[in-house]
Amino acid sequence: MTLPELTMNDVLRPQWPVSPRVHALVTTRNGGVSLPPFGTWRDGVEGPGGLNLGKKSGDDLAHVEANRARLMKLTGRGEAAWLSQVHGANVVSADDALAAARRGEPLFQADASVTDRPDTLCVVMIADCMPVLLCDPQGRAVGAAHAGWRGLAAGVVESTAQRVASLAGADMSVLHAYLGPCIGPQAFEVGPDVRDAFMNGVGGAQRDIVAGAFVEHPRNAGKYLADLPRLARARLAQIGVTNVVGGDRCTFTERGRFYSYRRDRETGRMAAIIWLADR
């Protein structure tokens, strides 16, 4: 069976007013070669053609490699700075991560990478956690962050923004951010420990904003429904980043479009990628 090639119709792209040097996309579950339970989902039926990019997902590694090759072909680049993500706040140079991988060294343990060099692909993988892509509007530097609740609470987005601004020689207030698909506020059930992780140490008006991102669960006493995009916007605003788009796509509820670990457990991984083209 010949499966269709991956095209731009299979991915999401930020709609933001930045330099054409900045290229970014987020993959979906469509456009690859993986089979169920890593496949596509159409009309209530799962079939072949899933674009699973996660090597540790349990999928056939040959399929994952074929999917990654399809993705690189779509970007027009040969390789990306893949990371070993640990739900933390460590930010690394994508160029250093790529150089280490070329030497056959283990992947860097980090949840974000940045670069100011053309054609270096910053990439994070997701399956409910939120990807946050950052750039300066002139296209001097970019970064990608993997922001689940742990990383977000630990400051991964702020740290990535600081590194991008430093590489660009700009103030953080000029940066643009794109919030990619993640588990939405109607589906992200959390306990009080998650709420406390964001509320601790927050005061004034910011405390009210953070508290507003947690709604008491209507059917599960003691639990909350958390709004990851709202929390990310609040933390970005605290460091002056207000040019923010996205955050309106839910991996959990949009089964035909996205993988979701919380929904399916055995599932694939998507990727968010950002890079700079030559001037």
Integer Cα distance of 35 and 49 in angstroms:
6
pLDDT of the residue at 201: 78
14: preceding bond cis by omega (within 30 degrees): no
* Inside any domain, residue 215: no
pLDDT of the residue at 278: 85
pLDDT of the residue at 152: 97
Mapping DSSP to helix (H, G, I), strand (E, B) and coil, where does residue 56 land? coil
* Inside any domain, residue 64: yes
pLDDT of the residue at 111: 98
pLDDT tens for residues 235-277?
Answer: 999 999 999 999 999 999 999 999 999 999 999 999 999 999 9
* Inside any domain, residue 103: yes
* Inside any domain, residue 227: no
Mapping DSSP to helix (H, G, I), strand (E, B) and coil, where does residue 160 land? helix
Integer Cα distance of 254 and 235 in angstroms:
26
> What's the domain range around 30?
8-184+241-276
* Inside any domain, residue 131: yes
Successive 10-residue mean pLDDT values, the chain, 279 residues: 91 97 98 97 91 97 98 96 98 98 96 97 98 98 98 98 98 98 97 96 86 94 97 96 98 97 96 93
Q: How many domains does the chain have?
A: 1
* Inside any domain, residue 153: yes
Instruction: Give every CB contact of residue 219 below 8 A, 6+ residues apart in sequence.
Output: none
pLDDT of the residue at 85: 98
CATH number at residue 67: 3.60.140.10
pLDDT of the residue at 42: 85
Residue 43 φ/ψ region, left for φ over 0, alpha for ψ in the -120 to 50 degree band, beta for the rest: left
